[in-house]
A and B are shown apart, each in its own frame.
Chain A
Amino acid sequence: MGEYIVELNHINKSFPGVRALDDVSFNLKSGEVLALVGENGAGKSTLMKILSGAYMRDAGEMQILDQVIEDLTPKKAQKLGVAIIDQELNMCSHLSVAENIFLGHEKTRSGVLSNKEMNQEAKDILDRLNIDIDPATTVGDLATSKQQMVEIAKALSINAKILIMDEPTSSLTSNEIDDLFIIIKKLKVEGCGIVYISHRLEELQRIADRVIIMRDGKCVVSMNFKDTTMSEIISDMVGHEIKEEFPRVNCKRGKKIFEVQNLNAGKMVRNINFDLYEGEIVGIAGLMGAGRTETTRAIFGADPKESGKILVDGEKVIINGSIDAIRAGIVLVPEDRRRDGLCIRRSVQDNIALPNLDLLCNKIGVVDKKKERAMTDEAVRNLRVKLTNAGANVGTLSGGNQQKVVVAKWLARNSRVVIFDEPTRGIDVAAKVEIYNIMNKLKQQGIAVLFVSSEMPEVMGISDRILVMCDGKITGELVTEEATQDQILQCATKFDSKSEQVVNS
Chain B
Amino acid sequence: MGNREKQRPWEDFLAIRGMRQVLTVTVALAVLIIAFSFLSPSFHSGRNVGNLLRQVAPIFIIGIGQTYVLITGNIDLSIGSVVGMSCMISATLMTKGVNPWVAMLLTIIVSIGVGILNGALVAKWKLPPFIATMGTMTVARGVAQIVNNNYNTDAIGKAAQSFRNVFYYGKIFGLYNTIWIAVVLFLVFDFLLSKTRSGRYIYAVGSNIEASKLSGVNTARSITIAYVVSALCACVVGLITSAAAGMGTMDAGNMYELYAVAAAVIGGVSTLGGQGILIGTVIGACIWGVLQNGLQFAGAPVAIRNIVIGTIVVISVLLDVVIRTEKPRRKIKE
The answer, among A106, A138, A266, for a CB contact under 8 Å with B200, is A106
Chain A residues within 8 Å of chain B by Cβ, number: 28
Indicate whether A95 sits within 8 Å of B204 (C-beta atoms), given known contacts A103-B211, A105-B216: yes
Find chain B residues with CB under 8 A from A136 CB.
15
Find chain B residues with CB under 8 A from A92 CB.
203-204, 207-208, 211-212, 274
State which of A7-15, A39-47, A107-115, A375-383 sits at the interface with chain B.
A107-115
Contact A91 B211 (CB under 8 A): yes
Contact A93 B207 (CB under 8 A): yes
Contact with A along B295-334 (1 / 0, CB 8 A): 0000000000000000000000000000000010001101
Query: In this complex, what residue of A is CB-closest to B331?
Result: A143
Let me know if A94 is at the binding interface, CB within 8 A. yes
Contact with B along A73-115 (1 / 0, CB 8 A): 0110010000000000011111110010001111010011100
Contact A103 B217 (CB under 8 A): yes
Contact residues of B: prevailing secondary structure: helix
Query: In this complex, what residue of B is CB-closest to A304?
Result: B329
Let me know if A127 is at the binding interface, CB within 8 A. yes
Interface centre among A93, A94, A138, A140 (most CB of B within 10 A): A94
The answer, among B1, B2, B207, B216, for a CB contact under 8 Å with A75, is B216
Chain B residues within 8 Å of chain A by Cβ, number: 29
Query: In this complex, what residue of A is CB-closest to B274?
Result: A94
Let me know if A267 is at the binding interface, CB within 8 A. yes
Q: How far is the CA of A92 from the CA of B197 in the complex (A)?
A: 15
Contact B216 A104 (CB under 8 A): yes
Find chain A residues with CB under 8 A from B15 CB.
136
**Which residues of chain B in 204-230 are interfacial with respect to chain A, using CB atoms and an 8 Å cutoff?**
204, 206-208, 210-217
The answer, among B197, B204, B216, for a CB contact under 8 Å with A113, is B197
Contact A94 B216 (CB under 8 A): no
Indicate whether A99 sits within 8 Å of B200 (C-beta atoms), given known contacts A91-B208, A93-B274, A104-B216: yes
Contact B200 A90 (CB under 8 A): no
Contact residues of A: prevailing secondary structure: loop
B75 → A minimal CB distance (Å): 18
Query: In this complex, what residue of B is CB-closest to A133?
Result: B1
The answer, among A95, A105, A132, A266, for a CB contact under 8 Å with B1, is A132
Query: In this complex, what residue of B is CB-closest to A136?
Result: B15
A56 → B minimal CB distance (Å): 16
Contact B211 A106 (CB under 8 A): no
The answer, among B4, B203, B215, for a CB contact under 8 Å with A104, is B215
Contact A112 B204 (CB under 8 A): no
Let me know if B47 is at the binding interface, CB within 8 A. no
Let me know if B195 is at the binding interface, CB within 8 A. yes
Q: How far is the CA of A91 from the CA of B197 in the complex (A)?
A: 17
Q: How far is the CA of A96 from the CA of B203 in the complex (A)?
A: 11
Closest 6 CB pairs of A and B: A104-B215, A92-B207, A104-B216, A94-B274, A94-B207, A103-B215
Given contacts A94-B207, A106-B197, 8 further A-B contacts (CB under 8 A): A90-B211, A91-B208, A94-B17, A94-B203, A104-B215, A108-B197, A111-B196, A267-B332
Could you tell me which B residues sit within 8 Å of A by CB distance? 1-2, 4, 15, 17, 195-197, 199-200, 203-204, 206-208, 210-217, 274-275, 327, 331-332, 334
Could you tell me which A residues sit within 8 Å of B by CB distance? 74-75, 78, 90-96, 99, 103-106, 108, 111-113, 127, 132, 134, 136, 138, 140, 143, 266-267
